[in-house]
Amino acid sequence: MSWKDVLVIVSEADADEPALALGEILAGLCADCHLSAAFLTPLPDEPLAYEPTVVAGVWAELLGRARQDAEVERKKVEARLKRSGKTTELRTAEALSRDLGRVAAVHARYADVAVMTRPTDGVGVELREEIIEGVLFHSGRPALIAPPGWTGTTVGKRVLVAWDASREATRALSEADDLLENAEAVTVLTVDAKPKMFGHGDQPGSNIAGHLNRRGLPAEVRNVDSGDRSASAAILEEAKKFNADLIVMGGYAHSRLRELVFGGATRELLRTTTVPLLMAH
């Protein structure tokens, strides 16, 4: 495996255990892999008030509390890494919440892959999406997302490739090379695909499956209609039927007020996937 440097991006020891475990499995795929973690501390925004002295006092208190809570979690993550048995490193960074995604992207640039935990509904979901978005769209590296509660023992043995013949899907598949080399079964899945000259060609999925076959990979094509399901729901249902331990998919976004935000299918899959998800943009 040419991936040698695996980075796990975390902010809470317990909530990010799936990402830590997945990173540990990746690092175990080669004898000289390096496992590291970037512990990110979100700092509160400056409170609004008319009196500058009030603002300074309140903000100092909020910053102190955030750093104190973060230090407790950092020590837990440090102890967890020591138990991994791999060459490890713990980096730390802090930033205002709105800047944390860009900070995460900078750290991800110095690794082969960045592993994170999937956002869940509730407190912190927007911050986790901000971090994933930063890595996916600004780092130039693939993002590997672990589902909450994930306790798998393998990744890349049974791979489902969500294929739409786009540049993003092609990039994601290329980034997945290191995991695909050990695949026992690969399904190229298309959803509502239509033959098209500038896209799928005459037989959706067949060209990319043929490319994978020529590389010695056991790839087969499955074309499905979404019916009354969303595209992401169709992908997850097929992944479950296939018993996939990895989904590979392009990461999509659209521009709004000069900021990158997730497209609908990307956001929905990020919030619902029950299978590790490798994305690239």
Mean per-residue pLDDT, 195-212:
88
For residue 42, the model assigns a pLDDT of 93
The first and second tokens of residue 30, run together, are 């080669």
Distance CA 206, CA 198 (A): 14
Residue among 149, 150, 130, 139 nearest 267 (CA): 130
For residue 134, the model assigns a pLDDT of 93
The pLDDT confidence band at residue 123, using thresholds 50, 70 and 90, is low
Element (H, E) at 39: strand 34-43
Whether residue 140 has pLDDT greater than 90: yes
- Tell me: the pLDDT tens digits for 224-237? 998 888 888 999 99
Lowest mean pLDDT among 22-26, 141-145, 154-158, 262-266: 262-266
The pLDDT confidence band at residue 58, using thresholds 50, 70 and 90, is confident
Residue 248, CA atoms < 13 Å, CB-side half-sphere: 30
Mean per-residue pLDDT, 262-275:
78
Mean per-residue pLDDT, 261-277:
78
The pLDDT confidence band at residue 146, using thresholds 50, 70 and 90, is very high
For residue 263, the model assigns a pLDDT of 54
The first and second tokens of residue 279, run together, are 């994305």
Share of the chain above pLDDT 90, in %: 60
Mean pLDDT of the chain: 88
Mean per-residue pLDDT, 111-137:
88
Write the CB contacts of 172 (distance below 8 Å, at least 6 apart in sequence).
142, 248, 249, 250, 251, 278, 279, 280
pTM, two decimals, is: 0.90
Domains of the chain: 5-146 (3.40.50.620), 158-276 (3.40.50.620)
Mean per-residue pLDDT, 40-51:
77
Whether residue 223 has pLDDT greater than 80: yes
Whether residue 130 has pLDDT greater than 60: yes
Question: Do β-strands 277-280 and 143-146 pair in parallel, antiparallel, or remain unpaired?
Answer: antiparallel
Lowest mean pLDDT among 26-30, 104-108, 196-200: 196-200
Whether residue 131 has pLDDT greater than 80: yes
For residue 229, the model assigns a pLDDT of 87
- Residue by residue, DSSP assigns 150-196 as ---S-SSSEEEEE--S-HHHHHHHHHTHHHHTT-SEEEEEEES---B
